[in-house]
Amino acid sequence: MAYYSKTGNTEKIAKKIQKVLEPIGKVELFKIEMANEYSSRLLHLNPRITFDCLFRRKPEIKATKNLEKYDALIIGSPIWYFTIAPPVNTFIDKLEKAKGKKAVIFVSSGMGREKFTKSLQEKLLSKGAKIVKSISIKLDRIDQGTLQEICDALKS
């Protein structure tokens, strides 16, 4: 499971998903890290974030992943300005062996709108992954029912 998180919500969701999947199989957590992380001060006024989101830029990240040895990919991102966080954009771009892989995607946002999954879905579909579940969460409020749905989607 790979995720980026700035203020901790996406990370909390990632850990809850990891926990619920424990009985099914091992889930490796991979935190996407930027080579030059955005400053944490005044996030909403950060021109670099606004610019990168607006122009769908792909800022450099520290490391990427080859999916060959994994059965499935779970990927999470915060929503910034109606789209995924730019480092997640970079991560997916560099992702190898995603073709045909089962994938679960989740996004965290202030509003929790269903349509916020679209940017991550489209990006991953462009790599040929097979999305089995897409989830939009308000902040870190994922419920048991949704966690169970993720388990079911990965089992089938």
**Residues of this chain that bind ligand FMN (CB under 6 A):** 5-11, 43-44, 49, 78-82, 108-111, 139
Smallest gap from residue 19 Cβ to ligand FMN (A): 17
Q: 110 or 128, CB closer to ligand FMN?
A: 110
Smallest gap from residue 77 Cβ to ligand FMN (A): 8
Angle, alpha carbons 25-30-33 (nearest 5°): 175
Smallest gap from residue 88 Cβ to ligand FMN (A): 11
Question: What is the end-to-end Cα distance of the chain in Å, rounded?
Answer: 18
Distance CA 21, CA 101 (A): 18
Q: 3 or 101, CB closer to ligand FMN?
A: 3
Distance CA 129, CA 146 (A): 21
Q: 82 or 155, CB closer to ligand FMN?
A: 82
Q: 24 or 111, CB closer to ligand FMN?
A: 111
Distance CA 111, CA 48 (A): 23
Smallest gap from residue 8 Cβ to ligand FMN (A): 5
Strand stretches in the chain, DSSP E: 2-3, 30-31, 72-80, 83-84, 102-109, 130-138
